[in-house]
Amino acid sequence: MTLPPPNVCKRIRKLHAMMGSSNTKEAAIALAKLNALLAEHSLGWNDIPEILAATAGTTATAAAPPPPSDQPEVNVLDLVLFLLEKHVAVTPAERMAIALWILHSWVFDRFTVTPRLALLSPVRGCGKTTLLALIELLVADPHRTDDISPAAVYHHLDHKPGATLLIDEADNAGLLENRTLRSVFNSGHRKGGGVTRFTGGWPKRFPTFCPLAIAAIGSLPLPLLHRSVLINMQRKAPDEIHIERLDENAPDWIIARERIRKWTAACVLEQDPEIPLVNRAADNWRVLLAIADNLGHGEEARAAARELTANRPDEDPGVILLGDILAVFSRRRIDRIASADLVTELIALNDFWTDWRDERPDRKLTQGDLARLLRPFRIKSKSIWPVERTPTSRSRKGYTRDQFEAVWRSYCPDGTPAQPSKFIRLATG
């Protein structure tokens, strides 16, 4: 071997020593830089002993160092966080969620739920495709595509169970109209999920349980959002961008995958970690928080979970409706309201009600919709009269505040305001 210039040899020796740092981020940076430097000079890890010997001023041949996967331990979560920060502009909370989701793809089958990762942006050019490409380099058994049919999904998973699906350009997939594709994506959220198709003269069940990351402009159908960890990607101004171009051929990715694979084989994950969330959000974050606890980032991960689930418009429509009705009653300080007036108030309060039906876009909330959404909560409209009745007063179909008190306590505990001492009673007729 012909040694590189002395300054390069010294640089290699320094980076090799830094890999033993107790600071995991420093060690990860040193590893990435060392691999880049070796590749730049057409060198390999087997050339390092001679370089170390030369820079030490001896001609003795040192024993070959172990392969990269056996180098001093690096926390794999720190490593993935470093790679994300290096190449993608997202918030710290989003970076934590993405890193944990990447690692979860290696261990998802140890848990009941695999959360979907929704990469959404308001317009093009916000970095979704770059992030999806980076995720592909690190997840287990990736299958990335810009377009896929329901049959392609379940046949692929039949051939390669547990593959990680990475779907780009999902805004072109017609998910609002494509009920079959929606059902395949939704069913794969929970262990045991699957679809049945008639194949070869017999019904056959295809499993759909697998990790799924999906990138789209705009939004996704509500049931799919409800099953997702949501990343809201935004276009950055030139002076805000401090990231490096993603080089998919860099050796960093091979080294990182080796370290993740080694961690996967050895890690023991808590099945019931402490979760500061409830219901579906708790299901989505369970595996992620178990990984964070295992890798010493539990506190930061819980803070990220709280931040990313706060004020999310991905609840069931019925629960959204209850919260908005609470807001209407509280803001107007009334004890009753006619159905028609309530619908008008709801549409003015929340744009969600101007286009809320997944299967029927551009459909505003109607009095019929209102009645159907409230029926499962055992709330029905009734005849109400103005508080101040006159000979010309007429009754109208509507609702009174006391019909909602119990369900508000169950479904909107954080939003229930203190009861005012006296309501301002407004006529509804």
- Same domain membership, residue 151 and residue 258: yes
Reduce the DSSP state of residue 157 to 3 states and report it: helix
Q: Does the pTM of the predicted model rise above 0.75?
A: no
Average pLDDT over residues 32-50: 77
CATH number at residue 173: 3.40.50.300
Residues 10 and 111 occupy one common structural domain: no
User: Which residues, 6+ apart, have CB-to-CB distance to 172 below 8 Å?
Assistant: 147
Tokens of 272: 């019931």
Residue 54 has pLDDT above 80, yes or no: no
Domain assignment present for residue 215? The answer is yes
Question: Pick from 382, 99, 112: which is nearest to 271 by CA?
Answer: 112
Region 293-303: mean pLDDT is 95
Residues 341/429, Cβ–Cβ less than 8 Å: no
Q: Is residue 352 part of a domain?
A: yes
**Rounded mean pLDDT of 177-204?**
86
Q: What is the mean pLDDT of residues 88-92?
A: 90
Residues 140 and 156 in one domain: yes
Please give the mean pLDDT across all residues of the chain. Answer: 82
- pLDDT above 80 for 287: yes
* pLDDT per residue as tens digits for the range 156-171: 888 888 899 999 888 7
Torsion (CA) 310, 100, 283, 228 in degrees, nearest 10: 60
* Pairwise CA distance, residues 215 & 220, whole Å: 9
Q: How high is the pLDDT of residue 108?
A: 96
Does residue 295 sit in the same domain as residue 385?
no
Q: What are phi and psi of 43, to 5 degrees?
A: -110, 160
Residue 247 is assigned to a structural domain of this protein:
yes
Identify whether residues 345 and 406 lie together within a single domain: yes
Query: Which residues does residue 190 pair with via DSSP β-bridges, in sequence order?
Result: 113
Long-range contacts from 83-88, C-beta under 8 angstroms, 24+ separation: 83/32, 83/134, 83/138, 83/252, 83/256, 84/134, 85/243, 86/243, 86/244, 87/130, 87/134, 87/243, 87/244, 87/245, 87/246, 88/127, 88/130, 88/131, 88/134, 88/243
Q: Are residues 326 and 228 in the same domain?
A: no
List the one residue out of 362, 377, 360 whose CA is nearest residue 321. 377
Last residue of a domain, one of 274, 309, 344: 309
Domain of 363 in residue numbering reads as 317-411
- Per the domain annotation, does 421 fall within a domain? no
Residue 1 lies in a domain: no
The model's confidence at residue 425, banded by pLDDT at 50, 70 and 90, is: very low
As a whole number, mean pLDDT of residues 346-368 equals: 74
* Angle ∠(307,311,315) on CA atoms, nearest 5: 115
The answer on 288 and 139 residing in a single domain is yes
Q: Please give the C-alpha separations between residue 417 and each of 263, 327, 331, 408, 420, in angstroms, as whole numbers.
A: 47, 9, 10, 10, 8
Contacts of 247 (CB under 8 A, 6+ apart): none
Report the pLDDT value the prediction gives residue 418, as an integer from 0 to 100.
Answer: 36
CB 116 within 8 A of CB 214: yes
In the chain, pLDDT over 70 holds for what percent of residues? Answer: 84
Residue 198: is its pLDDT beyond 90?
A: no
Question: Parallel, antiparallel, or unpaired for β 164-167 and 212-217?
Answer: parallel
pLDDT of residue 353: 84
Indicate whether 103 pLDDT > 80.
yes
Residue 280 clears pLDDT 70, i.e. is over it: yes
Assigned token pair, 104: 């979860």
Whether 306 has a pLDDT exceeding 70, the answer reads: yes
Give 12's contacts (C-beta < 8 A, 6+ positions apart).
4, 34, 37, 38, 43, 48, 51, 52, 55
* pLDDT confidence of residue 107: 96
How would residue 382 be classed by pLDDT, with cut points 50, 70 and 90? very high
> Do 47 and 95 fall within a single domain?
no
Q: Are residues 203 and 286 in the same domain?
A: yes
- Distance between CA 283 and CA 75 in Å, rounded? 25
Q: Is residue 428 part of a domain?
A: no
- Asked, for residue 236, whether it belongs to a domain, the answer is yes
Specify the number of domains making up the chain.
3
Whether 230 and 43 have beta carbons less than 8 Å apart is answered as no
Residues 360-367 have a mean pLDDT of 73
Task: Tell me: do 18 and 139 sit in the same domain.
Answer: no
- pLDDT given at position 178: 77
